[in-house]
C-alpha cells in the first residue's frame, strides 16, 4: 500500500508515536519508546494498539485517509524485564551519565572504570564498575580508591528496572509532542 502525506505542518517522518503499555505508562523512558509512523500504522492495522491521540498530519491511499497517531497504547500488557541487563548503557544510565569521580557529564568522554582494578582481582560486574571520564580513569589507573584518593560518588550496585526507569526521566528527548505530555513525567522542567 502506498501512502501519501497531505500537505501539513509536519512531515510524516517527523511524526513518531509515543508507545504506551496497556497501563498507559510509557514502555520505556530512556530511550523514550517511540515508533516511526510506518511501524505505528502497521500495529494499528494489525489491531495490536489503540490510538490515543493523533497528529494533524494525514496520510492517505486511494481508499482511505487517516491522521497519524501521536500516542498509541498496546492492547496487551508487556511485562517489564525484572533485572536490567548489565550493559555499558545501563551502567551509564545508573550513574546518570556522569563521572563518578569528578561529576563531569561529558558523555562523549565517558568510559567505565573498575573500582577495584582488574590487576587486583576486580571483576567486571555491577558492583565494581562505575562511569568515569577518561581523565579520571587515566588518573586513577590501576590503583585502589584509597591509594588514588578517588572514591565513586555512590557505591556501585545492581539497579532495579524501576530505578533505571526513574533515572531515565532526567533525560527528556529534544522533541516532545504536546499530546505526549499527559503520559510523561519528567524530572526536569519542560521547555514551553
Ligand atoms: Zn572525571
- Walk me through the domains of the chain, giving residue ranges and CATH numbers: 4-80+164-180 (no CATH), 88-159 (1.10.30.50)
> What cell does 43 get?
500495529
- Using a 10 angstrom Cβ sphere, with 0-12 exposed, 13-18 middle and 19 or more buried, the burial of residue 5 is middle
Q: What is the pTM of this model?
A: 0.73
Kindly give the distance from the C-alpha atom of residue 186 to the centroid of ligand 1, in angstroms, as a whole number: 26
In DSSP notation, 134-170 reads: HHHHHHHTT--HHHHT---SS---PPPHHHHHHHHTT
Kindly give the distance from the C-alpha atom of residue 114 to the centroid of ligand 1, in angstroms, as a whole number: 14
Average pLDDT score over the chain: 89
Instruction: Spell out which residues have Cβ within 5 A of ligand 1, the ion.
Output: 99, 101-102, 104, 133, 136
Residue of 50, 72, 45 lying closest to 61 (CA atoms): 45
Cross-strand partners of 5: 59
> What cell does 119 get?
590487576
Kindly give the distance from the C-alpha atom of residue 105 to the centroid of ligand 1, in angstroms, as a whole number: 8
Could you tell me the pLDDT band of residue 81, with boundaries at 50, 70 and 90?
confident
Residue 115 above 80 pLDDT? yes
pLDDT in tens, 6-53: 544 689 999 999 999 999 999 988 888 999 999 999 999 999 999 999
Residue of 120, 149, 115, 148 lying closest to 131 (CA atoms): 115
Kindly give the distance from the C-alpha atom of residue 175 to the centroid of ligand 1, in angstroms, as a whole number: 29
Kindly give the distance from the C-alpha atom of residue 162 to the centroid of ligand 1, in angstroms, as a whole number: 27
Express as a percent the part of the chain with pLDDT over 70: 92
Kindly give the distance from the C-alpha atom of residue 86 to the centroid of ligand 1, in angstroms, as a whole number: 22
**Is the Cα dihedral 69, 74, 80, 84 positive or negative?**
negative
Amino acid at each position: 500500500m502506498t501512502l501519501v502525506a497531505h500537505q501539513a505542518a509536519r512531515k510524516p517522518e517527523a511524526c513518531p508515536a509515543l508507545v504506551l503499555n496497556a497501563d498507559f505508562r510509557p514502555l520505556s523512558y530512556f530511550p523514550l519508546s517511540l515508533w516511526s509512523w510506518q511501524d505505528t500504522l502497521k500495529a494499528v492495522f494489525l489491531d495490536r494498539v489503540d490510538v490515543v491521540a493523533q497528529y494533524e498530519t494525514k496520510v492517505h491511499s486511494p481508499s482511505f485517509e487517516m491522521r497519524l497517531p501521536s500516542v498509541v497504547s498496546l492492547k496487551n500488557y508487556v511485562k517489564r524485564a525484572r533485572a536490567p541487563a548489565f550493559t555499558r548503557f545501563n551502567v551509564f544510565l545508573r550513574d546518570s551519565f556522569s563521572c563518578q569521580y569528578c561529576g563531569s557529564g561529558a558523555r562523549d568522554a565517558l568510559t567505565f572504570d573498575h573500582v577495584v582494578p582488574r590487576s587486583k582481582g576486580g571483576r567486571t560486574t555491577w558492583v565494581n564498575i562505575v562511569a568515569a571520564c577518561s581523565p579520571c580513569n587515566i588518573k586513577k589507573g590501576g590503583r585502589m580508591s584509597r591509594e588514588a584518593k578517588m572514591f565513586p560518588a555512590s557505591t556501585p550496585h545492581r539497579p532495579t528496572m524501576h530505578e533505571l526507569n526513574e533515572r531515565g526521566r532526567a533525560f527528556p528527548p529534544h522533541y516532545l509532542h504536546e499530546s505526549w505530555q499527559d503520559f510523561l513525567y519528567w524530572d526536569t522542567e519542560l521547555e514551553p
